[in-house]
Amino acid sequence: MVILLLGLFGALATLIPIVFGLGLYCLPTIVALIRKHANKSPIILVNLLLGWTLIGWAVALIWAFTDNAAD
């Protein structure tokens, strides 16, 4: 029973940071979709293709927060 709990804890200790990291990585996309941004497709592309550089991620995030939302 103890080994099972330790295995479960290990799995959760691995899974939670992965899910959190993916959510953080996709934050510009999520913001653009929620705000119905007029340029959501380019923001998603920048996030997916250049987000790993951190500069691309910051550009996509700032772009997603700009006041260019579709009415």
- Mean pLDDT for the stretch of residues 12-35: 95
SS3 state of residue 38: coil
- Mean pLDDT for the stretch of residues 43-68: 96
DSSP letter, residue 26: T
Higher pLDDT, 3 or 68: 68
Higher pLDDT, 8 or 56: 56
Cβ pair 60, 50 in contact under 8 A: yes
| Alpha carbons 65 and 46: distance in angstroms, whole number | 14
* Tokens describing residue 64: 């997603």
Cβ pair 50, 56 in contact under 8 A: yes
- Mean pLDDT for the stretch of residues 3-26: 87
